């Protein structure tokens, strides 16, 4: 972050020139309100405040706890670089509060960045996005707004959700109030949010194809243009913008599931998925990014957005399209289950009463977010089999781990689970007297541990299961570990394989 210089004079004077141009259209933005102080609303607002020192950014949330944390030294989310930006801007042109009504009234432009989880009840249960939080924002804006407002849908929503927002706003406002609704989905990835916001691959702005719509699109583009080059700001119709977000996440998730499907083939045939991924990725039409086989994808978005996309397809009577995308989530579930079963099989087909160390609980490195983390599923499987778990994660709190694993949607016996989990703050303590280490998040620090020291305090034979393919397996084997990873079989482990798992005879090739 420190390598990123603040706005240069040219950029600032460019901003002033742009402001003069936009002033003519009466669409200069001086006050922004962001509703939702979560993983998207928080970092996005921070970067806007940092890069646009002349704009006041007011982030509001209904959660008092979240706002308290944003105003404290311990921010509610961990993101590399975030703390520095907050320190520089908070109290200057960046404010966090629960004063939703006031912030809406003052704002020229309002971002809706609230959560849109998968519905857990009623029509579309388990598939459709629950838009109740977005709708409640729209109703609140309609209730308290004065003058002209640009309302920006930043949350990920189904196609044509903006239409519902427009409907609610236009049916509930007084004659002196006017709105333009834009779609501006967020593409940041947790763990690299600040970097992604500062250097986005693209910024997408969808708006109504009318003079007023174009003015609103220009006003929002002007904000981003303080630091994002014009050619990276793409403008489309509102519906294309909404669908592009769902499609992007579906494509990303699909790549993970594709390489994971190949990893299963590698394990069964003796090929090595890293070598296959490297060879495949060197085709410039395919590209090498996002081809890392693993225990599976997690996070609050991929699964939810895939389900939402499939639901939309189903509703539009496109069952083949829905089935196609649902396969991506099925493959993800298969990968998690396959990995969990392999752990049990390698540990002589039982983990009952065995102690296992779990390294990593967050859904990916550099975040404390555990939503849909593969760790929840793998740990639950091991707990169901009677293992006791020593869990260590550098950023996830004990309370969060216990909450995730005792959630009644995950286990039918929260009391039993509580007894079987031990959340540790020191990885070396976590491995004492364990039969195995299971790596479930790709935290960099896991690569640099003294595994010789760890091995010395573990039960023998000591196993290590690398669900993220980040460790040096050959060295671990030399130390005396029995190592297992995704998409590769180590020949010295052949003895431990159950008969059903041995490499097939390839007779079908003849």
424 lies in the binding site for ligand NAI (CB under 6 A)? no
Q: At what angle do helices 238-269 and 273-281 cross, to 10 degrees?
A: 140
DSSP symbols for 420-467: HEEEES-HHHHTTT-SEEEE-S--GGGGGS-HHHHHHTS-SS-EEEES
Of 170, 165, 321, nearest to 242 (Cα)?
165
Task: Measure the CA–CA gap between 89 and 484, rounded to whole angstroms.
Answer: 47
Q: How far is the CB of 158 from ligand NAI (least distance, A)?
A: 11
Query: Is-contact 238 150, C-beta < 8 A?
Result: no
Q: Tell me the C-alpha distance between 188 and 364, whole Å.
A: 14
Strand order in the sheet with 436-439: 421-424, 388-392, 355-359, 436-439, 463-466, 482-485
CB 156 to ligand NAI: min, Å: 4
Q: Which of residues 141-180 bind ligand NAI (CB under 6 A)?
A: 155-156
DSSP class of 5: -
Site size toward ligand NAI (CB under 6 A) is 26
**According to CB under 6 A, which residues from 48 to 67 bind ligand NAI?**
61-63, 66
Stretch in the footprint of ligand NAI (CB under 6 A) among 112-120, 173-181, 223-231, 439-447: 112-120
3-state secondary structure of 365: coil
Measured between alpha carbons, how far is 332 from 287 in angstroms, rounded to an integer?
21
Residue 400 φ/ψ, nearest 5 degrees: -65, -40
Which residue ranges are tagged as binding site for NAD(+)? 36-41, 61, 66, 114-118, 155-156, 190, 301-304, 371
Closest-CA residue to 438 (of 333, 334, 370, 351): 351
Active site residue 52: no
| Cα gap 259→292, rounded to integer Å | 7
39 makes contact with ligand NAI (CB under 6 A)? yes
Q: Is 246 in the site for ligand NAI (CB under 6 A)?
A: no
| Annotated catalytic residue within 33, 301, 346, 379 | 301
Taking the complex as a whole, how short is the minimal distance between the CB of residue 75 and ligand NAI, in angstroms?
12
Between 96 and 377, CB nearer to ligand NAI: 96
Q: Would you give the binding string for ligand NAI spanning residues 248-287, x where CB under 6 A is met?
A: ----------------------------------------
Indicate whether 35 belongs to the interface with ligand NAI (CB under 6 A). Answer: yes
With binding defined as CB under 6 A, does residue 238 bind ligand NAI?
Answer: no
Site for ligand NAI in 288-347 (CB under 6 A): 300-301
Question: Closest distance between ligand NAI and the C-beta of residue 136, in Å?
Answer: 4
Nearest to 357 by CA among 461, 446, 439, 474: 439
- Closest residue to ligand NAI: CB criterion: 38
- 35 vs 194, beta carbon nearer ligand NAI: 35
Active-site residue set: 301
Residues in touch with ligand NAI (CB under 6 A): 35-41, 61-63, 66, 100, 113-116, 133, 136-137, 155-156, 186, 188, 190, 300-301
């Amino acid at each position: 972050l420190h390598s990123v210089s603040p706005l240069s004079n040219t950029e600032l004077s460019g901003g002033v020139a742009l402001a003069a141009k936009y002033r003519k259209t009466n669409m200069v933005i001086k006050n922004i309100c962001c509703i939702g102080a979560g993983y998207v609303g928080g970092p996005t607002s921070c970067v806007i405040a940092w890069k646009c020192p002349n704009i006041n950014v007011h982030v509001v949330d209904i959660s008092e706890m979240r706002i308290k944390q944003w105003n404290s030294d311990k921010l509610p989310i961990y993101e590399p670089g975030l703390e520095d930006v907050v320190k520089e801007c908070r109290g200057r042109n960046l404010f966090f509060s629960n004063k939703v009504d006031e912030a809406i009234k003052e704002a020229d432009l309002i971002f809706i960045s609230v959560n849109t989880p998968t519905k857990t009840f009623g029509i579309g249960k388990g598939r459709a996005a629950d838009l109740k939080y977005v709708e409640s924002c729209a109703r609140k804006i309609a209730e308290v707004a004065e003058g002209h407002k640009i309302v920006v849908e930043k949350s990920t929503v189904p196609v044509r959700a903006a239409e519902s927002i427009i409907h609610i706003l236009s049916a509930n406002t007084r004659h002196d109030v006017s709105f333009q609704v834009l779609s501006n989905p967020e593409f940041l990835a947790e763990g690299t949010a600040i970097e992604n916001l500062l250097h986005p691959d693209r910024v997408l702005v969808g708006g109504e194809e009318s003079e007023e719509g174009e003015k609103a699109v220009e006003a929002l583009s002007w904000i981003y243009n303080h630091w994002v080059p014009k050619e990276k700001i793409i403008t489309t119709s509102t519906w294309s913008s909404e669908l592009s977000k769902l499609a992007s996440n579906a494509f990303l998730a699909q790549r993970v599931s594709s390489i994971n499907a190949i990893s299963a083939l590698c394990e069964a045939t003796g090929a090595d998925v890293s070598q296959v991924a490297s060879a495949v990725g060197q085709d410039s039409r395919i590209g090498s990014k996002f081809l890392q086989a693993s225990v599976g994808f997690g996070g609050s978005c991929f699964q939810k957005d895939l389900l939402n996309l499939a639901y939309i397809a189903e509703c539009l009577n496109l069952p083949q399209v829905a089935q196609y995308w649902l396969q991506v989530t099925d493959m993800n579930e298969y990968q998690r289950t396959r990995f969990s079963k392999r752990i049990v099989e390698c540990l002589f087909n039982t983990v009952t009463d065995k102690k296992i160390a779990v390294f990593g609980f967050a859904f990916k490195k550099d975040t404390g977010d555990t939503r849909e983390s593969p760790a929840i599923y793998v740990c639950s499987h091991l707990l169901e089999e009677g293992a006791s778990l020593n869990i260590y994660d550098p950023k996830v709190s004990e309370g969060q781990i216990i909450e995730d694993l005792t959630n009644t949607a995950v286990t039918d016996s929260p009391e039993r689970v509580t007894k079987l989990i031990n959340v540790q703050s020191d990885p070396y303590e976590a491995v004492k007297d364990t039969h195995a280490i299971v790596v479930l998040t790709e935290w960099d620090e896991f690569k640099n541990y003294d595994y010789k020291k760890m091995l010395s305090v573990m039960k023998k034979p000591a196993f290590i299961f690398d669900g993220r393919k980040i460790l040096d397996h050959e060295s671990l084997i030399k130390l005396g570990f029995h190592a297992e990873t995704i998409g590769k079989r180590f020949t010295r482990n052949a003895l431990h394989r159950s008969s059903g798992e041995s490499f097939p005879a390839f007779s079908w090739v003849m």
